[in-house]
Structure 1
Amino acid sequence: MTEIHLTIEGMSCDHCVMAVRKALEQLPVEVKDVRVGSALVVLEESEVGVEQLKQAVEEAGYTLVGSSAS
């Protein structure tokens, strides 16, 4: 299990938070927290990589500018 912290540009309101949460929830990850400018997800095994997280964020209309694992 790996926690991934995402830094996201373009989010400015609760609607943005809901859009990113909905996009990430389409992936096989546990979405722990989404706030304006960031998200925290938990990956089980490595079914999903950062590239898929980036694609989901971009499809929601935002830009993934950084990620870090813990």
Structure 2
Amino acid sequence: MKEKKINIVGMNCHHCVIAVENELKELGIDLLDVKIGSADIKYDETKISDDDIAKAIDEAGFKLVN
């Protein structure tokens, strides 16, 4: 399992946090902490790619920042 902090642009409220949490959970990511603008995540990098994570964030209506 890989642990990683991701930065997310466009989040500005608690509802944004919930939207991101839901998309990442659906992808199979263990959430360690999601805040406005970032998330600490844990996932199996053999099953989930960085592109998968970026797409999930995009589906929630936000953008992943490298």
Report the TM-score, using the length of structure 2 for normalisation: 0.92
Q: CA RMSD in A?
A: 1.0
Shift of 1:37: 0.2
Tell me the number of residue pairs that the alignment of Structure 1 and Structure 2 aligns: 66
Identity of aligned residues (%): 38
**Cross-structure match for 1:40:** 40
Shift of 1:44: 2.6
1:12 aligns with 2:19: no
Q: Which amino acid aligns with 1:60?
A: A
Gaps of 5+ in 2: none
Shift of 1:40: 1.1
Runs of 4+ displaced beyond 3 Å:
none
Q: Which has the higher helix share?
A: 2
Gaps of 5+ in 1: none
CA distance in 1, matches of 2:45, 2:37: 26
Report the TM-score, using the length of structure 1 for normalisation: 0.88
